[in-house]
Structure 1
């Protein structure tokens, strides 16, 4: 006879919402001939020079424990990479290697957030960024980006008012799902606020290289000082198409590196050596690859704009960065899953529900346009026809 589960499960874990993106994907993957635009990854394979570097590591037997905070060669390369982009003077002691960008966010949060703390999260945003503070017992307050025509904007006065008594601000720029980017002036102002009010900033910048103006989006790395309460989270997943490798990093003041290193020991121990070998190749040899993928995504972005910008009752927001289109559908229910499931069944294309991304996401759909251009053309034709013929009930 099956016994019931013990009663002492964590109430925080039990109350955590299931990802509606995964719900959509799980259904879509059971259907034939569906074009999947729900997950946040491109269909470009990890480039060969990265795979070969990791394979060489395996051949050399690089399968043992590594330093908790990453191999020195990769940490040094990451510091030099960011120094070039942001005119900084980081060294390896400002860098900690993590097992994915998600792990980077968790480690940053565990470093500065305690149960009962107030944390302000700028939304819409990938759900991990408000779920992680919730798992730690924090009181999460979502601050919604404002909408101005076809643009998303951040109201700094509203942010500073909300964060006056907060322990931390969580920001994702360039932003998933909206493509919004904070300006250099806004980032500098947030840095000054953090110093003045002694508020932590956790900045998720995994899409920093997927901007269509300049080599990198404006970054907190540019303005960071050694005494600042700022931690920048990053990942190899997006810029180098390494989603399955689970490799990321943190940029942070040297003084807190020992604390995060201890947390890594008790979370994941270390990132695999052969995976870090692939990351080292990405950082030192990957600029041309980033340029090529950005060119393809720019073409894809233009295709999205041409296909979806003139549909009555549909608002397509500006796309200055990332590889996402965020689309508002007038009259779409707060829970858009039924509408998307119908799209999957009838139009044979699937997207992500906007409500998965917190406040400001309802009545929206997120479309990942990181796929092959011919496939994208077919998907956009199907989405356009569906939106024109299936108004929300």
Structure 2
């Protein structure tokens, strides 16, 4: 049996063998075994999906809408998404520019499969959510990492370094607002990147799942405001964050119309289609969910302020400015590339679990990410314990 098992493992994909378990999941698995641990590790709001969304899905099920749907999504949902984005960004999307996906992650995968070939060079900006670099690696691409720079407690992108990396690349994957840093690309920066890529035929895959989670405007700057039908730009979005629908596995792509046949086929061969009842919930979210989005962002602004209050002045740490998303990204002096022993000790002593910074790339090492999308009565005492732990326990 051991020899048979060894033979089996030798036969699996070499690219799959190179994949590592996310350090976020490793820490969470440790914490889930403990009692009374406040979980701030995953990027997920503590609030449930709003009732009006659940009721829409329930009504869909009661109508026995459990059959296959069109590969690119129900026409009513595609139309509603296009209208929503046109109102939000002043864009000019038609329903044909929208393709419904099974989650934001699936959106990024289909986008990457649409425009990447093995051995292509793909630039990513880190710290970044690990899926965004893992997907091109799974597809056999060479991933080139450009790290955000820091000035004080702010992140910024060095465009000279970015454009040098893009000089012989076929694509860039950009996430703004950024998980885990909260960095937001300005409209001027997005325009500069788009113009550079237009001139060289470089594909842009833009992950904009946190576009509504900004604290000083209705939405973050978006490629939706800038693109036309000739641009090699694919915009990825999700229902998970803005409408508290993480478990529904529903997202969408904005694509040039010429890409529709390719995306339709890739969706067919990846997942076939999104479920009808999930899309019914998504339609309700798009058409009726604006009040929920705005109230959620207002609550997140309060929890953001709470993070700044408890963690913003700890000696030998840097809490980066929190313009967007629902994360605090905290640098702790002396915390090395393997922060898991320290974070396990935090779980044991402070009863709080957070995400290790190294999960987000080499430039994330020495940091922790704290999800503050939870109710203040739970968040405040958790942050108070985190503060006390950092003040009293030095990193290994």
TM range (shorter): over 0.9
Does 1:372 find its partner at 2:393? no
Does 1:73 find its partner at 2:85? no
Shift of 1:378: 0.9
Match of 1:333 among 333, 336, 349: 336
Query: Residues of 2 paired with 1:356 and 1:227: CA distance?
Result: 36
Query: Residues of 2 paired with 1:266 and 1:218: CA distance?
Result: 33
Partner of 2:322: 319
RMSD (Å) for aligned C-alpha atoms: 0.7
Partner of 2:130: 127
Query: Residues of 2 paired with 1:139 and 1:48: CA distance?
Result: 44
| Structure 2 counterparts to residues 276-295 of structure 1, below 5 A | 276-295=279-298
Shift of 1:359: 3.0
Partner of 1:250: 253
Query: Residues of 2 paired with 1:290 and 1:266: CA distance?
Result: 33
Shift of 1:228: 0.3
Match of 1:90 among 87, 90, 93: 93
Kindly indicate whether the alpha-carbon contact (under 8 Å) linking 1:143 and 1:359 is maintained by their aligned counterparts in 2.
no
Aligned length, in residue pairs = 393
Query: Residues of 1 paired with 2:306 and 2:220: CA distance?
Result: 22
Shift of 1:258: 1.0
Does 1:264 find its partner at 2:263? no
Of 207-216 and 6-15, deviating more is: 6-15
Shift of 1:333: 1.1
Partner of 1:57: 60
Does 1:161 find its partner at 2:171? no
DSSP 3-state at the match of 1:360: helix
Q: Which segments of 5 or more consecutive residues in structure 1 lack a partner in the other structure? A: none
Match of 2:191 among 188, 192, 208: 188
Match of 1:174 among 172, 177, 183: 177
Deviation digits for residues 193-241 of structure 1, max 9, x if unmatched?
Answer: 1110110000000000000111100001100110001000000000000
Query: Residues of 1 paired with 2:295 and 2:119: CA distance?
Result: 45
| Length-normalised TM-score, structure 1 | 0.99
Deviation digits for residues 261-286 of structure 1, max 9, x if unmatched?
Answer: 10000000000001000000000000
Does 1:213 find its partner at 2:221? no
Q: Which segments of 5 or more consecutive residues in structure 2 lack a partner in the other structure? A: none
Shift of 1:342: 0.4
Shift of 1:392: 1.3
